[in-house]
A and B are shown apart, each in its own frame.
Chain A
């Protein structure tokens, strides 16, 4: 403390406690009973510890009641642990299939963005990719769909038809369009697949059926089935 402040330190106040007088300095003393009281430690021991003067071995009745009180308080508060689920909202994992596009709407080597299963967050946007013939031959599927949330830091990735790659604009991660495996950038260091959206192709219509919400922005350890 600087000198200026010290100059204004107030005078010690006198407090009264149980008929004895203490200066204000005593209140900050950790051993209040012993260092400030005018009685000896032995005398104070009987007065301050609250136990009966004749010490018995084992748990005194007073202490047993204290423990019971503590247990009772814990039991009274225990049901509130369930309120923790209040903080973590449940989210439906059963979705109605959504018509996302007609086959002819998405040209070969083109893509379209669709919201699924919700429309409350950009991380629920996905891309439907019409694979070019050479890639389609590899996967045996003409259409694939992935969630757009980059597994690195949750930017939104897009299909780049010029380079036939899925690219992230933020940190330059790149994914294979065939299975969503990261091939370059920071996502490649993490090494998990982009979560795929399960599709159902009904004649000319393409429906989105399901996606694992827990893997959005995190990635999947298994390739799309």
Chain B
């Protein structure tokens, strides 16, 4: 491909002229304040997890805006017949009747999971690489605020279905709001309005407009000036979301009807940690608000306490603290899914109640053990004072494609994409909804690989 790149002296074609013209005009806009770097070789995605998180945010914005065309937040209880008009009906319509509706719902659901996962990974990567202090403070604090808003977005999102699981989550949220000291009734009314119809409408407004707008505003402060736009990885992440959506389509659940029996349902995985704390039976405000807030506040104030000028790990105290926090997060999250004994699955109501002494004891133990191990290990392996840290990079063996091999791979990938497009169109006509999504995802991944091959071939 190297030959196709024009040398500077060559005359530019109209498309390049148009791009240049546009670039010069965009210089006048805020858009050019952001500097995008398009890496010309593979760089570790760990460095731009934040941008990948934003990619899923954009994907959520697009799929969510389209879902709004069919979603209806109306809740009406017919007390005479017992029938319920519920948003669930409209979601069911999107899922089963609207063409491509199931695909969009799956994209929206799996992108939300991906966004939470990427945001958490992004946070811990930035933490362990020490990029949260020394002028990164504003980025760090805004990042944590966006992270909390992301989780609230996800929570309000899965409640909007008003299935049995969503209703249970709404009930827990309302009970927590009502247990606020001093202003419980007000907090409850703020969240729930005068009833479920109000609550769904409020959650809807918050979910589709208020919080996304706040998040975008904070992102303007959170975005660094230089960003990595790695097209292959971005399209592969989007593709992976769709492949997972095709392989593990999100369930609709059972419609919430007041007269029906509620079984055991789990909240989403990013809330099971809180669920486990609530299940210990301690005061709900402490379980649902105070303990999570302590966790958040500890992370919020770290950059202001840690004023050492060391970047890139090696600070045993803060690294051990991060590992301990991660361990506690993992333990509580896993326990939320499990019985009162973490080694057994949850399948009956009496198992819901977790012994607070065992629970908090093991959480503290995991934290202390992780802290001690990491701290001692880092102390033992620390370089002697005065020596400069080594940054010896591991050299991975790189296989260089020959020109012919490269051509063969690119052409077969293109052929592969053509085939998959036809295949996915056929699947769409035959209404194999999950297959369609899977094919689209595979196509996106193929595109990502192709762009990567282009850039390494262009060198």
Interface residues of A (CB under 8 A from B): 1-5, 8-10, 28, 30, 87-89, 91, 113, 115, 118-125, 152-156, 169-172, 186, 189, 214, 217-218
Given contacts A1-B47, A5-B39, A172-B350, contact A121 B195 (CB under 8 A): yes
Q: B150: CB under 8 A from chain A?
A: no
Q: Which of A89, A154, A186, A214 contacts B193 (CB 8 A)?
A: A89
Chain B residues with CB under 8 A of A122: 77, 196, 258
Q: Is the CB of A88 within 8 A of B171?
A: no
Contact of B261 among A1, A115, A169, A171 (CB under 8 A): A169
Inter-subunit contact B281/A170 (CB<8 Å): no
- Tell whether, in the assembled complex, residue A171 and residue B77 are in contact, meaning their CB atoms are under 8 Å apart: no
Q: A2-B47, A218-B179 are in contact. Are A87 and B281 (CB under 8 A)?
A: no
- In the complex where A125-B258, A186-B281, A186-B353 touch, is A91 in contact with B194 (Cβ < 8 A)? yes
Question: How far, in angstroms, from A118 to B353 measured CA to CA in the complex?
Answer: 33
Task: Tell me the bound Cα distance from A123 to B79 in angstroms.
Answer: 13
B residues contacting the other copy or chain, number (CB 8 A): 47
In the complex, B37 has a CB within 8 A of chain A: yes
**Interface flags, B171-187, vs A, CB<8A=1, else 0:** 11011001100001110
Name the 6 nearest CB pairs between A and B, nearest first: A120-B195, A121-B195, A154-B171, A4-B43, A122-B258, A121-B196
Q: Is the CB of A118 within 8 A of B39?
A: no
Residues 79-99 of B, flagged 1 when their CB comes within 8 A of A and 0 if not, give 100000000000000000000
- Asked whether any CB of chain A lies closer than 8 Å to the CB of B190, the reply is yes
A105 to chain B, nearest CB (A): 16
A214 touches B77 (CB 8 A): no
CB pair A118 B194 closer than 8 Å = yes
Say if the beta carbon of B189 comes within 8 Å of chain A: yes
In the complex, whether B42 has a CB less than 8 A from a CB of chain A is yes
Chain B, Cβ-Cβ closest to A8: B37
Query: In the assembly, what is the distance between CA of A92 and CA of B316, in Å?
Result: 59
Contact A4 B41 (CB under 8 A): yes
In-complex Cβ contact of B44 among A2, A124, A169, A170 (8 A): A2
A-B contact pairs, 28 of them (CB 8 A): A1-B47, A3-B393, A4-B39, A4-B42, A5-B226, A8-B39, A88-B186, A89-B198, A115-B79, A118-B195, A120-B75, A120-B194, A120-B196, A121-B194, A121-B195, A121-B196, A121-B199, A122-B196, A123-B195, A123-B196, A124-B195, A152-B175, A153-B278, A154-B172, A169-B262, A171-B349, A214-B185, A217-B188
- The verdict on B197 contacting chain A, using a C-beta distance below 8 Å, is yes
- Asked whether, in the complex, the Cβ of B184 is within 8 Å of the Cβ of A120, the reply is no
Determine which of B43, B77, B184, B199 lies in contact with A119 in the assembled complex, contact meaning CB atoms within 8 Å.
Answer: B77
B228 on the A face (CB < 8 A)? yes
Q: Residues of A contacting B12 with CB < 8 Å?
A: none
Q: Roughly how many angstroms separate A121 CA and B189 CA in the complex, as a whole number? A: 13
Residue B394, interface by CB 8 Å: no
Say if the beta carbon of B160 comes within 8 Å of chain A: no
Closest partner residue, chain B, to A185 (CB atom): B353
Number of A-B contacts (CB under 8 A): 100
A contact residues around B188 at 8 Å (CB): 217
B77 near A217 (CB under 8 angstroms)? no
When the two chains form their complex, are residues B194 and A171 in contact, meaning their CB atoms are under 8 A apart? no
Is B388 located at the chain interface by the 8 A CB criterion?
no
In the complex with contacts A9-B226, A120-B75, A120-B198, A217-B43 CB distance below 8 A: no
Q: Once bound together, how far apart are the Cα atoms of A2 and B175, in whole Å?
A: 47
| Given A120-B75, A186-B281: A88 touches B190 (CB 8 Å cut-off) | yes
B87 shortest CB reach to chain A, Å: 14
Q: Is B35 an interface residue (CB 8 A)?
A: yes
Interface status of B103 (Cβ within 8 A of chain A): no
What is the distance, in angstroms, from B266's C-beta to the closest C-beta of chain A? 13
Bound-state Cα–Cα, A218 to B184, Å: 9
The residue in chain A whose Cβ has the minimal distance to the Cβ of B75 is A120
Q: From B177, which residue of chain A is reached at the shortest CB distance?
A: A217
* Whole-angstrom CA separation of A214 from B187 in the bound complex: 11
Q: How would residues 96 to 137 of chain B score, 1 for a CB under 8 Å from any chain A CB and 0 otherwise?
A: 000000000000000000000000000000000000000100
Q: Enumerate chain A residues within 8 angstroms of B350, measured Cβ to Cβ.
A: 172
A5 in contact with B228 (CB, 8 Å): yes
Chain A nearest CB, measured from B400 CB (Å) = 17
Query: Is there an interface contact between B178 and A217, defined as CB atoms closer than 8 Å?
Result: yes
Nearest chain B CB to A72 CB, angstrom units:
25
Q: Once the chains bind, are A87 and B190 in contact (CB under 8 Å)?
A: yes
What distance in Å separates the Cβ of A164 from its nearest Cβ neighbour in chain B? 20
Q: Which of A2, A153, A156, A218 contacts B172 (CB 8 A)?
A: A153
A7 to chain B, nearest CB (A): 8
Which residues 327-343 in B have Cβ within 8 Å of A in the complex?
none
Taken together as a complex, chains A and B put the C-alpha atoms of A218 and B183 apart, in Å, by: 13
Chain A residues within an 8 Å CB radius of B192? 121
CA–CA, A197 and B178, complex, Å: 20
**Cα separation A124 to B175 with both chains bound (whole Å):** 15
Task: Tell me, yes or no, whether B352 is within 8 Å of chain A by CB.
Answer: yes
